[in-house]
Amino acid sequence: MKPTKQIKQQALVAERAARETADEFVSRQLKALASGFRAQAKVIKKKKKKGPSRPA
């Protein structure tokens, strides 16, 4: 499985857990974690599109 796909999957798992938990604090923390996973996947995808960097 590709790294971006794995990270997006983790975001989905965190969101599902956030919906299922009764504790509001934990729910907010899990939603923030999911958001962080998505941001991380976005950065990886952007770097991949950019291509390999050239040394100076």
Question: Domain boundaries in the chain?
Answer: 3-50
* Tens-digit pLDDT profile for residues 37-47: 999 999 998 88
The one-letter amino acid code at 23 reads D
The answer to whether residues 6 and 29 touch, using CB atoms and an 8 Å cutoff, is: no
Mean pLDDT of 24-53: 91
Identify the residue with better confidence: 30 or 2: 30
pTM: 0.79
In angstroms, the CA 27 to CA 19 distance is: 7
CA 31 to each of CA 1, 4, 45, 53, 55: distance values in angstroms, whole numbers, following the listed order: 23, 18, 21, 33, 38
Average pLDDT over residues 3-24: 95
Other residues' Cβ atoms within 10 Å of the Cβ of residue 11: 20
